[in-house]
Chains A and B, each alone.
Chain A
Amino acid sequence: MSGQEFLKALPWVALLIAAVFVPFVAGPYWLSMATTMAMFVVLATSWALFSGPTHYISLATAAFFGVGTFVTGLGFQTLPFWMLPLIAAGLGGILAALVGMVTLRLSGVYFVIFTLGLAELVRQVVTWVQNQTGQRGMYVLTSITERDIYWMLLGLAALVYLAGWLIGRSKLGFALRIIGNDETVARHVGIDTALAKVALFTIPGMAAAAVGAMLAPRYIYIEPSTAFAPLLSFQVVIMALLGGTGRLWGPLAGVIPFTLLWEFITRQAPNQTLLLLGVVFLLIVYVLPGGFVGLWARIRRRFHQGGGA
């Protein structure tokens, strides 16, 4: 790391350290809020790592997340807790690779459609298996507190940022930027486009499954319809796009305001959350293409032009 890069990274490291101390100052309400935000930061940032450069909209987050919660639900009594997110990440990565191998050779529409139903598909299968074995939901009673969950998620977030930063500097990141700009060109210069996309898609898969495994103790009771709630996938997409996928910090800029807004609407008008989701989707498409990152770039450009003239 050169000196200049170190200086650039410094504010982010400082932010991370500040985030570590949140549980000591925040009350239960804000701690719970911070945990939710940390969760969405991991989900949205890892989502953007794949969908940002490739422009493939993945709606599979809920499926990976659900798989993760079930890993904890099934394993927390027999295995040490620290192993569960690792196992979940492994399974999430395998699931993502399988889905990617089937759909990522084809155009983006097939991918969206397939991932759209993936959570529902896994939920139906899990429910069916449970019915066959006569099991219903599961209780996850652990000694893990909200604080522990928050710190685990924060650590995961740091890992995701690190991964994103490393990918950005690597050959894979370069290849993906070319694919995103023009897939035909990418193929002509000898990039195995399908392989690169599948490899990258495993990252959100692993991250979301690990998040699910970490958050399972928070739910206490797990059943398929809550673990695989498809709404989660859409929340992640919207937060990432609201922030913008062009930069690593983009999703973070989307998560914070949207989580607060969502919380506000849920309390004031619980029936209108879907309408809110719809309106924000439309807002992003028509008013804010590129999200806050795009807006920031436009403002800076205007400022620079104004300053130069």
Chain B
Amino acid sequence: MFILITGLLLGGTYALIALGLNLQYGVARIMNLANGELLVAGGFAAFWAYTAAQVSPVAALVLVAPIAFVLNWLIYRIMLQPLVSRAKSRGALEVDSILATFGMSFALVGIMTALFGGGYFNYAYLAQPVDIFGSSYGQNRLVAFVLAAIIGLGLWLWLSYTRAGLRLRALAVNPSSARLVGIDTRAASALAFGLGGAVTAVGGALISMFFTLDASVGILFTMKALIIVIMGGVGDIRGTIVAAMILGICETAVARLIDPGLTLAAAYVLFLGVLLFRPQGLFGKKPT
């Protein structure tokens, strides 16, 4: 029971991060490998707000989200759009965007190390225990989960019931057809990329409440988010959430029962299973 609940709480935050990546990859077609660094940057912002200005991390989200949105929107417009226009095929764009975002990822790690040093950082926010079903959990984990759930739900409603959300979904299905029905694909892609970045940064701020981060840990979160996105299916919100929960539970189980040093190995076993048996994602249909 303890494993299940801790895993679900962890999975909630993972889901949010993976949703951010899924927006960037599924809709804007950019495999963003700097995703984890963005998460760490979000965590840094929350840390800084809490320690330097005594602003609660929850309140800091109000600032983190728009800043991350604008930053990512600019990154897409300035750096990635030229790659999209020059790419001859989806494959060529993939190689270019992978290399470019790797570059950004390393540059961001370098900049963050220069700004904040190479050490670990964490802060104590709502670090009191709370009892659920006889075991105790950190309040901060619970708060992070609830916030992740609210934001995730909001995002899902927005995508499902608004016109702008419909546009993004159309773009995810088929970019060239989306253009035929009068969607400005460039603007929509930039919007999706910015939004994805904002969601990821918020996820980072949430994670920093209960997780010790350092400047170079981002790549680990990128890996996890990628595994979740592939497991859940590219562009599939329901699949992403289910996959994130599975990963959260799996990791917690392995860490508790076998060895905390094997969490990535656990994620990889899942990944391997998906690659071998369901490369189209948990709920995906086989391509015909």
Footprint of B on A, CB under 8 Å? 55, 57, 102-103, 106-110, 112-114, 116-117, 120-121, 124-125, 127-128, 131, 230, 234, 241, 271-286, 289
Q: Does chain A have a CB within 8 A of B249?
A: no
Instruction: Determine whether B276 belongs to the interface, using a CB cutoff of 8 Å to chain A.
Output: yes
Cβ of B146 within 8 Å of any chain A Cβ, yes or no, is no
Residue in B closest to A117 when the chains form the complex, CB atoms:
B223
Q: Does B50 count as interface, using CB distance less than 8 angstroms?
A: no
Residue B177 lies at the interface, judged by CB distance under 8 Å to chain A: no
Contact yes or no, A106 B275, CB < 8 A: yes
Partner of B95, one of A108, A128, A234: A108
Contact for A285 among B103, B261, B268, CB less than 8 A: B103
B14 at the interface (CB under 8 A from A): no
Given A103-B275, A131-B259, A241-B99, decide whether A108 and B94 contact each other with a Cβ distance below 8 A.
yes
Known contacts A113-B230, A275-B106, A275-B114; A282 and B100 CB within 8 A of each other: yes
15 new A-B pairs (CB below 8 Å) besides A120-B264, A282-B107? A55-B95, A116-B223, A120-B223, A124-B262, A125-B265, A131-B261, A271-B110, A272-B110, A272-B114, A276-B110, A277-B103, A278-B102, A279-B107, A281-B103, A281-B106
Q: Is B134 an interface residue (CB 8 A)?
A: no
User: Which residue of chain B is the closest to A281 with respect to CB atoms?
Assistant: B103
Contact status B275-A102, CB under 8 Å:
yes
CA A125 to CA B227, docked complex, whole Å = 19
CB pair B271–A108 under 8 Å, yes or no, is no
Q: How far is the CA of A152 from the CA of B140 in the complex (A)?
A: 56
A contact residues around B198 at 8 Å (CB): none
B144 within 8 A of A: no
Task: For B109, list chain A residues within 8 Å (CB).
Answer: 274-275, 278
> Can you name the residue of chain A whose Cβ is closest to the Cβ of B37?
A278
Contacts of A124 in B (CB 8 A): 261-265
| Cβ–Cβ contact A110 & B91, under 8 A | no
Complex Cα distance, B118 from A284, in Å, reads: 27
Q: Do A128 and B262 touch (CB < 8 A)? A: yes
Which residue of B has the minimal Cβ distance to A183? Answer: B91
Partner-A contacts on B (CB < 8 A): 31, 82-83, 91-92, 94-96, 98-100, 102-111, 113-114, 118, 216, 219-220, 223, 226-227, 230, 258-259, 261-265, 267-268, 271-272, 275-276, 279
**Which residues from B are CB-within-8-Å of A286?**
82, 100
Please state if B110 and A278 are interface contacts (CB–CB under 8 Å): yes
Q: Which residues of A contact B259 (CB under 8 A)?
A: 128, 131
Contacts of B226 in A (CB 8 A): 113
B261 in contact with A128 (CB, 8 Å):
yes
Complex contacts, A128 vs chain B, CB 8 Å: 258-259, 261-262, 265
Q: Give CA–CA (A77, B275) in the complex, Å.
A: 40
A116→B264 CA distance, assembly (Å): 12
State A113–B230 Cα separation when bound (angstroms). 10
- Give the distance in Å from the alpha carbon of A234 to the alpha carbon of B223 in the complex: 15
A108 CB contacts on chain B under 8 angstroms: 91, 94-95
- The residues of A that contact B111 with a CB separation of less than 8 Å are 275
Residues of chain B within 8 A (CB-CB) of A120 are 220, 223, 264
Which residues of chain B are near A106, meaning CB under 8 Å? 275, 279
Contact partners of A113 in chain B: CB under 8 A? 223, 226-227, 230, 271
Alpha-carbon distance A285/B102, docked complex (angstroms): 10
Contact of A121 among B99, B100, B102, B264 (CB under 8 A): B264
Chain A: minimal CB distance from B75 (Å): 12
**A271–B118 touching, CB < 8 Å:** yes
Known: A102-B272, A117-B268, A120-B264. A278 touches B103 (CB 8 A): yes
**A284 and B107 contact, CB distance less than 8 A:** no
CB < 8 Å: which of A55, A103, A272, A282 contacts B104? A282
On whether the beta carbons of A278 and B265 are closer than 8 Å, the reply is no
Which residues does chain A contribute within 8 Å of B118, judged by CB atoms? Answer: 271
A281 touches B275 (CB 8 A): no
Contact B230 A110 (CB under 8 A): yes
Indicate whether A109 sits within 8 Å of B94 (C-beta atoms), given known contacts A102-B276, A128-B261. Answer: yes
Distance in Å: Cβ of B277 to nearest Cβ of chain A? 11
